[in-house]
Every structure is written in structure tokens, then in C-alpha cells.
Amino acid sequence: MTKRRSKLWKRGADFLGVRYPLISGAMTWISDSRLVRTVGEAGAFGVLAAGNMPVGNLESEIRTLQEARPALPFAVNLITIAPNYQAHLRKAAEMRVPFIVFAGSFPRKAEVERAKASGARVMCFASTESIAARMIDYGTDALILEGSEAGGHIGHVSTIVLIQEVLFRFDQVPVFVAGGVATGRMIAHLLLMGAAGVQMGTIFAMSEECRAHPAFKERFRRARSREAMSTPEYDSALPVVSVRAIKNKGVAEFGKLQLELLQKLRRGEVGRVEAQAEVERFWVGALRRAVEEGDVETGSLMAGQCVGLIDEVKPVRAIIQDLVREAEATLARIGRV
């Protein structure tokens, strides 16, 4: 790389301890130790998805990564709204994982401090300017901006707005950008805007090493960007986090579930916490069916809008090499202007 490009890649690469500051975002049922390891071997940064797996399974996955040689940096993604969250945090701290990513909602200050006390570097999501400031005050070592173009559970603000609200206003810690990123050309421009690197999920779900069912990948391959739609919240009486997924019967069933739960809430048959838990159980089960069984009709096909830009399944190493090559070519071209 030229001196110009080396400088642009450097902050994020040094922070993560990898050659390229490209993060493979955590995807429940998908981001297992095999995918994390493969991403690391290709020079990028893998994140293990804890989801709500049994603590013993999480320990086994972490140990697999720790005992592999050569040792590679990796993160464990902890879902703050998962029932097993506190047990996951204790286990990750006990096993001294190198990086901890807090996701789902926002961690308490004491939880960030507990993670850092174990020696882990902490990364937190920031969906607004005020949350970015709070996470920095809590002691996060880096921020991840994930726009609503991303797949899975999402916020309501687009990547392009978050760049202006957060990336352009905070320089205290490295800031990684996510949501709608699937090309090296976009990576180059984000680096030029000040990003330390990027996080991508959908493109790695389309890797050969990803454990997802072939039918799941084939549906992604054929999808257009507009098919990756976000789910609505019908009533504030049942607050739900929007989910972006490829539209199918499963998305329609989720709409019906929300309406049924709202009726039960009004009749006093369930409480709000119980109703929200039912919503999360729906997505966990639907996602498992899609990933493991290839149920692309009623399963959850969580995908970012960039799914329309990805039309082939490739090895992880080829994905990363192609992204880097295109990013460097773009930076070289800009440098000659």
C-alpha cells in the first residue's frame, strides 16, 4: 500500500490488531468460531455471536478460538437484552476474551467497566449523537455506527445521517461504520471521511465458509435491495426493535403476531415484558429455521439492503481480497486527481 493508503487503514488496523480494519459483524446462528477464525486468517476481524446460546456452548466456542494457532484477535458480541446476557458477560470476562462488543441495546457503565477490568477492549454501538457521547463517557474503546440499512435488529437512522451526526463529531475513539456497506469503493470513501474501518454482515453470510443452509444463500443471491424491508411497530404499547429481513411469509406472520399480542395486552392477558419476550422468541426461532433448515418461506431472512449488491457465494479470503483491492484502487484513483 502507498503511504496515503497505509495512513487511512492504520488507525483501525492497529486498534483491532489485524491487517485490514474490516469487521465481520456478529450474526446469530451464523457467526460461529469457524467463520470468525476464517475471517481472521484472511487478515480481517471476526466477531463471535453469543446470541442467547447456553453458557457452556459459548465457553466452548471461545476456547476453540483461544486454543487455535496462530492466535488471532477476535471479539465476542453480547446481546444486552438476551436472557443469558449477564452469564455471557461473566464468562467472557472470566475467559479474558480480547474484545467485547455490546449489542442489542446499550450497556450500563458498570458492565463496560467489568469488561475492561478483564483486559478486554470494548466496542459499543451508537445510534445517536447523545448515545455516542454516553458510551465514550462510560469508557468504550471504540464506536460502531450501524445505520438502518443493516440487516437484523436495527435503529431508525440511516448510515449517511449517522456519519454526519457521529463520525464527523467524535474523534476521541476509533469509529467503525456499518449498514449498507458491501463494496471496496464504499470502504475507501468511508476511510476518507474519517472512519477507522467498517463492519459488514450480509456479505460474510454469503461466504462459502458460512454455515447457513444453501437455500438461505441462494435466496440472498437472488434478492434485490428493495426486498430487504424493516418491520413496523404498530403501537407504542408494544415497543419492538425493528428487524430488516427479506420479505416473505415469515415477515407477514410477524405482523400478525404483533397485532395478536396487542389485543392480548389490551385484554390484560399478557404483560408488556412477556409480550416483548414472545416477539424475540419468534425471531430466534424463525432465524434458526432459515439458517439451519433452509426455510426461506416462513423463516427469517435477516439481511441488509446491500444484499442486492451481492450476487455470488465466494470464499472469505476472496471476499476480503476483492474488497481491499477495490478500496485501494479507488484511493489510488482519487490520489491522482
Q: Is 107 a residue whose pLDDT tops 70?
A: yes
Residue 281 has a pLDDT of 85
- Please give the C-alpha separations between residue 225 and each of 182, 254, 285, in angstroms, as whole numbers: 12, 21, 24
* Cα–Cα distance measured from residue 247 to residue 227, given in angstroms and rounded to the nearest whole number: 6
Question: How far is the C-alpha of 192 from the C-alpha of 177, rounded, in Å?
Answer: 12
Residue range 17-36: mean pLDDT, rounded: 96
Residue 207: other Cβ atoms inside 10 A: 24
Stated length of the chain: 337
The confidence score (pLDDT) of residue 273 equals 86
What average pLDDT score do residues 70-76 get?
95
Q: Cβ(203)–Cβ(310) under 8 Å?
A: yes
Q: What would the pLDDT profile of 248-296 be if each residue is shown by its tens digit?
A: 999 999 999 999 999 999 999 999 889 988 888 888 899 999 999 999 9
What string of DSSP letters covers 60-121?
HHHHHHHHSSS---EEEEEETTSTTHHHHHHHHHHTT-SEEEEESS---HHHHHHHHHTT-E
Task: List strand residue ranges (DSSP E) for 140-227, in order.
Answer: 142-146, 152-153, 175-178, 197-200
Say which residue, 276 or 64, is predicted with more confidence. Answer: 64
C-beta neighbour count of 60 within 10 angstroms: 12
The rounded distance, in Å, linking the Cα atoms of 305 and 229 is 8
Measure Cα distances from 219 to 64, 133, 150, 162, 216 in Å: 31, 39, 17, 29, 5
Q: What is the per-residue pLDDT across 134-161, written as a single tens digit (0 to 9) for each?
A: 999 999 999 999 999 999 988 889 999 9
Domains of the chain, CATH where assigned: 3-211+311-335 (3.20.20.70), 224-302 (no CATH)
- Quote the pLDDT of residue 5: 53
Residue 149, classed as helix, strand or coil, is coil
User: Which residue, 133, 217, 206, 207, is CA-closest to 175?
Assistant: 133
| Section 106-123 average pLDDT | 97
Q: Model's pTM, two decimal places?
A: 0.93
**Alpha-carbon distance 208 to 205, whole Å?**
8
In this structure, of 102-106, 168-172, 288-292, 299-303, the range with the lowest mean pLDDT score is 102-106
The grid coordinates of residue 33 equal: 468460531
Specify the pLDDT at position 221.
96
Mean pLDDT (the chain, rounded): 93
